[in-house]
Amino acid sequence: MKEKVSCLSLRKFALPLILMSALSAASAAQNAAAHPNWPGPGQLFVGACYQPIDRTPEQIDGDIAIMKHAGFNVVRMGDLSWDSFEPSQGKFTFEWFDKIMDKMQAAGIRVILDIPGSPAPIWLHRAYPGVDLVTQNGTRLPPAERYMDDISDLGYVRELGIMAEALTKRYAHHPAVIAVGYNNEIGNGFMSYSEADRQRFITWLKKKYGTVEELNKAWATQRWSRRLNSFDDVDLPLGDGPGPFERYLDLHRFWSDVTVARLEELDAIRQRNMPGLPSISNLWDTAGRRGFDYLSTYKSYVSFGAEGFYPGDPVGGVFGAMTVKGDLATPIWFNEFTAGGGGNYGTPGRSRMYAHLALMIGAQGILAWTFNSHLGGEEQALFGLVDHDGTPSWKVDEFARIASEFKLLSKYGFPRSTHPEVAIAYSFDSFIDSNPNTPSNTTRQFFQPAYTDQVQGAFDPFFRANIDTAIINIGHADLSPYKLVIVPADYVMDAASAKALREYVSGGGAVLMTAFSAKVDEHGQWFNTPLPGRLSDVFGLKTNAFYDIPAALKFQLGGDSIDTKVHHYEVLEPSTATVIARFTNTADHTPVVTINKFGKGNAIYLATESNPSVIGPLMNYLYKVAGIQPGPRTPEGVFARVVDGRTLFVNTSGEEKRIPIAGLRKGILSNREFEGTVVLGPMEADLIQ
């Protein structure tokens, strides 16, 4: 069953990996469940992330016994462990892991096998000094923190391919493996500023722009006397600033492409050695230090959207989860799931509440981070399910309850299949370009509040109305399934996105665009045409003046007086658009909402930032325009979805909540009968017949 793989045989695959991205062009999701190991879509999974490198054989046996008793049916292993599999270059030691894999299989626990490409071992840094990071002031940094690898270095690429090839061949036919993950939290690494990095960036620019003349145009180098006479004049833009916006945007695009290339290379190895097994990776595309453009690329390396789930609040937590699901038809996985926290032992009932909230939005698996509380390293004050002395905490019992309830709910239509009629646009380019790094800029002063907050501001009222929504990149997604597309503060309007919106509205779709949208082109330069750029005729207006007032804005809509929490507005000048509402406390009473008939569809423009206090009052109007039905009615803090004729209610608040229902109903989880009212205690959940 276990094939011995020599380093020599692996090296013939490694160098071509640099050019293998094209092999992953087909959607990874298309073969997400074609392997005999995959248990099928009708099963739910509960387990934990497990690092056996910290445990003795006797402790491992004890840990597995605890997992089995708790009803766990999945673990995620392999991450953060490269040098345990390959302690020196080309010398693989899999025998220790073979035993653990066999024990998991014997216990009925399936494994997500993580390819541990981050962090890279010390031996790799010594063999390939280019893997060491170089700061923007030229200082070489030793590999201290776990994310301190230059993943663009060709030595790193080569050795990552060798290790991934060995690992996937070794366990290609192990019956415990149900999925593969790539490079834990890739995206949260650092940019590097070596001369080799500069040359790779120049190569990327040549491919993108072709000539230095086109690069000069894209970077507006005529400004501030910064013309480039040749590509040799290019320096790496400064990630920490200062620097011009256009270069800063391309810097992030370059590192995004580097990250995506590593993921596509790993996916090509998975498809070759473990065809049919899905990829379920703990990625971190929104990481502040580097990040990457996930929603434009994810279908070439993702089978199931997955993430580490550490919510600060229900709306923000679910919003983050939906950004990794995109428009995939497959369920969501939470490869790391909230249990304790850094310096926070945990709150009884909180993980269970979030587990059912995850089920509500289409989750299939949750894995607690982490099983054992760490005795050393960066997260030694993070409390897992088992305490530092090896004693199971109350959290083991809570996750055991989750496992028992998930096993029951798998018979009632879970994991839930979602079919959202509403899509919300999210753009990596707008995220980067709306928050430039230089202190001498006007964009940061103009663009407030932050882009992601505004996207979540559009998501918030729909989630509270219990309406499924998808988070998508409009230039890289099929818009036809949606009745309404919301474009909140989409600062960068590239040609592909504009074309997609134009065709969608013309074909009969409804779009709501908010202020701050379509101000700059794909190079980060303001349009010299009427705004919103490339779409002024679609929305039947232009907007050129932008104001803030001391008092919060107010407007009239359908006879109701709306008090908002926003102060910024744009002056709309309709041409073919019809005014739906006007501000009541501005000097000029300009339009706040307009609608324009374009082709068979409707283009609605909102003159304020994307904020729940403005979008919420528009919901009834949007329902009528787009033909959308609201979800189940619930009190504040309670969320609900209907699954196969039954309703899952989740009370996320710390108070008892009462939900009106018709007649006599039974709670499947509580085994209680409710007549006229479902009563949920704090952080409680129930599926009502």
In a domain, 417, yes or no: no
Tokens encoding 329: 């038809």
Q: What CATH number does the domain containing 583 carry?
A: 3.40.50.880
On whether residue 243 sits in a domain, the answer given is no
Residue 472 resides in a domain: yes
For residue 655, the model assigns a pLDDT of: 98
DSSP state letter for 35: S
User: What confidence tens digit (pLDDT) does each residue in 202-255 have?
Assistant: 999 999 999 999 999 999 999 989 999 999 999 999 998 887 889 999 999 999
Percent of the chain with pLDDT over 70: 94
Collect all residues with Cβ–Cβ distance below 8 Å to 442 and sequence separation of at least 6. none
2 occurs within a structural domain: no
Helix (H, G, I), strand (E, B) or coil at 93: coil
Query: So what's the pLDDT on residue 22?
Result: 38
457 plus 586 within the same structural domain: yes
Distance CA 66, CA 70 (A): 6
Say if residue 614 is in the same domain as residue 495. yes
Which residue among 575, 600, 626 closes a domain? 626
pTM: 0.94
Assess whether 59 and 104 both reside in one domain.
Answer: yes
Backbone torsions φ then ψ of 340, nearest 5 degrees: -100, -140
Shared-domain flag, residues 495 and 511: yes
Q: Do 530 and 647 belong to one domain?
A: no
Lowest mean per-residue pLDDT among 271-275, 342-346, 589-593: 342-346
pLDDT in tens, 486-542: 999 999 999 999 999 999 999 999 999 999 999 999 999 999 999 999 999 999 999
| pLDDT (tens digit per residue) in 58-100 | 999 999 999 999 999 999 999 999 999 999 999 999 999 999 9
- DSSP 8-class letter at 474: G
Exposure string for 307-319, b = 16+ CB within 10 A, e = fewer: bbbbbeebbebbb
Rounded percentage of the chain residues whose pLDDT exceeds 90: 88
Q: Is residue 242 part of a domain?
A: no
pLDDT attached to residue 351: 97
Is residue 101 domain-resident? yes
Q: Which of 626, 646, 664 is the last residue of a domain?
A: 626
Q: Is 240 part of any domain?
A: no
Give the residue among 210, 575, 260, 554 at the shortest CA–CA distance from 428. Answer: 260
**Beta 646-651 vs 541-548: how paired, if at all?**
unpaired
Tell whether 228 and 303 lie within a shared domain. Answer: no
Segment 370-394, tens digit of pLDDT: 999 999 988 998 899 999 999 999 9
Residue 657 β-bridge partners: 680
Domain ranges, residue 226: 195-235
Residue 29 has pLDDT above 70, yes or no: no
CB 177 within 8 A of CB 111: yes
Distance CA 260, CA 300 (A): 9
Which residue among 581, 596, 626 closes a domain?
Answer: 626
* Angle of helix 394-409 versus helix 57-70 axis, rounded to 10: 50
Q: Which two tokens stand for residue 524?
A: 């980060």
- Domain CATH code at residue 680: 2.60.40.1180
pLDDT above 50 for 670: yes
| pLDDT for residue 13 is more than 50 | no
Residue 200 corresponds to which amino acid? R
CATH number at residue 168: 3.20.20.80
Q: Is the peptide bond before 436 cis (omega within 30 degrees of 0)?
A: no
**Residue 674 and residue 613 share a domain:** no
Q: Does 25 score more than 50 pLDDT?
A: no
431-436: average pLDDT: 90
pLDDT of residue 441: 67
pLDDT of residue 440: 59
Number of domains in the chain: 4
User: Which pLDDT belongs to residue 115?
Assistant: 98
Asked whether residue 367 falls in the same domain as residue 491, the answer is: no
Q: How confident is the model at residue 342 (pLDDT cuts 50, 70, 90)?
A: confident
Query: Residue 379 falls within a domain, yes or no?
Result: yes
The pLDDT assigned to 170 comes to 98
Q: Are 429 and 464 in the same domain?
A: yes
Residue 552 confidence (pLDDT): 97
Same-domain status, 540 and 560: yes
Q: Please tell me the chain's helix, strand, coil percentages from 3-state DSSP, rounded to the nearest 5.
A: 35, 20, 45
Mean pLDDT of 583-600: 96
The rounded mean pLDDT for the chain is: 93
Backbone angles phi, psi at 229, to 5 degrees: -85, -20
25 and 169 housed in the same domain: yes
Same domain, 671 and 553: no
The pLDDT of residue 623 is 97
Contacts of 106 (CB under 8 A, 6+ apart): none
The type of residue at 286 is T
Q: Which stretch of DSSP H or E encloses residue 512?
A: strand 510-514
Coil, helix or strand for 634? coil
Q: Rounded distance, CA 115 to CA 77, Å?
A: 9
- What is the C-alpha to C-alpha distance for residues 376 and 119, in angstroms, rounded to an integer? 16
Band of residue 11 on the pLDDT scale cut at 50, 70, 90? very low
